[in-house]
Amino acid sequence: MCALRGILVKLIDIIPAGNTLGEGILWDAGRGSLWWTDIQQRKLHRRDLANGKTEMFRTPERLTSFGLIEGSCDLIAAFESGIAYYDPQSGSVDWQYRPKFDHPSIRFNDGRVDRQGRFWCGTMMERENERALGALFCLDDAGEPSVHLRGVSISNGICWGPDSKTFYFADSPKRTIFAFDFDADSTTLSNQRVFAQTPDGAYPDGANVDSQGCLWSAQWGAGRLARYTPDGREDMIIEVPASQPTCVAFGGTGLDLLFVTSARDGLKKDALIGQPHAGDLFVFKAPVAGLLDGSFIRKEKTG
């Protein structure tokens, strides 16, 4: 049963971050920590949930999304120009894939590790009204890339249903969240269909799926999170005290805390006066538990 209509979702904390473009929020259960990136400021943040301390790491390029690596302190990281193994402590970068883009406006954007240990990441067009030349990539454990979608404007909302049989993907300017049938063995996407269409002014950004199989979408421009049932029905709206929420993650020991990043990017002075928490990190008490993200399985090179 997925319906939660009428249930109050309480905002329990606002973590000051002041990010220009906070994104990529990720729960690290092994270290009891939250990771997120400020893309435009080239900063990676890690917050220890127990002691409330936040570390900041400078990144060599704009870091757009990332995932944990099984058995390692490194991250699998999508920087603006490519995908790499990245050690935040030392700053070392081991590039795995740096494609030659067809246009100077293209950069990497949203990404997530699937439950089989592969990293999926899409690209986007930074300039508005440019031809949609973005794509969706998958990087396997040997560092081999494959392309699964083309003709994308802004890749966002990458996540999977609890049984990994459904893949979700949003193209933000189209205000559309798509669903696909997903073959976890072959990584094949099929049966593309419209899962949900968002209202005018609400652009689907980062997303996640809870333990009941419902999708939570941060919706840029509308100051809200929307929860959708597996058949695409809007089940719940949660107001966020910033107009540009960007990404969502379930975390905490019970996976019942909902963490939401936000952005100040592009807001004019008057808008910022009315949104003092734009760019901060919001914590809600979730009415349902989430699911753990996958960890990238890295194949050690030999020879």
Which is catalytic among the residues 205, 210, 280, 293?
205
CA-to-CA distance for 159 and 167, rounded, in angstroms? 6
Which residues neighbour 111 within 8 Å (Cβ) at sequence distance 6 or greater?
24, 64, 65, 66, 67, 78, 119, 120, 121, 122, 158
For the record, the structure tokens of 298 come out as 């890295």
Parallel/antiparallel/unpaired status of strands 166-171 and 119-125? unpaired
Give 130's contacts (C-beta < 8 A, 6+ positions apart).
Answer: 103, 105
Handedness of CA 107, 206, 218, 38 (dihedral sign): negative
Average pLDDT over the chain, rounded to an integer: 95
The neighbour count for residue 1, using CB atoms within 10 Å, is 5
Q: Which pLDDT score is estimated for 63?
A: 98
SS3 track for 45-105: EEEECCCCCEEEEECCCCEEEEEEECCCCCEEEEECCCEEEECCCCCCEEEEECCCCCCCC
Dist. CA 187–CA 181, nearest whole Å = 10
How big is the chain, counted in residues? 303
Closest of 134, 231, 146 to residue 183, by C-alpha: 146
Over the stretch 82-93, which tens digit does the pLDDT of each residue have?
Answer: 999 999 999 999
State yes or no: is 110 an active-site residue. no
Q: Could you give all domains of the chain from N- to C-terminal order, each with its CATH number? A: 10-285 (2.120.10.30)
- Cα dist from 84 to 67, 74, 240, 255, 302, whole Å: 11, 10, 33, 28, 18
168's CB contacts (< 8 A; 6+ apart) are: 157, 158, 159, 160, 161, 177, 178, 179, 180, 195, 207, 209, 215
Query: 197-217 pLDDT, tens per residue?
Result: 999 999 999 999 999 999 999
Per-residue pLDDT tens digits for 10-23: 999 999 999 999 99
- Asked whether the beta carbons of 165 and 209 are under 8 A apart, the reply is no
Write down the pTM of the prediction: 0.95
pLDDT band at 141 (very low <50, low <70, confident <90, very high): confident
pLDDT at 221 over 60: yes
Q: Which residue is listed with tokens 């994104």?
A: 23
Q: Give the per-residue pLDDT at 180.
A: 98
Residue 157 has pLDDT above 90, yes or no: yes
Residue 10, judged by CB atoms within 10 A of its CB (0-12, 13-18, 19+), counts as exposed
Q: How confident is the model at residue 2 (pLDDT cuts 50, 70, 90)?
A: low
Percent above pLDDT 70 for the chain: 97
How far apart CA 213 and CA 227 sit, in angstroms, is: 10
Based on the number of CB atoms within 10 Å of its own CB, is 256 exposed (0-12), middle (13-18) or buried (19 or more)? middle
Closest CA to 119 of 173, 74, 174: 74
The whole-angstrom separation of Cα 245 and Cα 149 is: 25
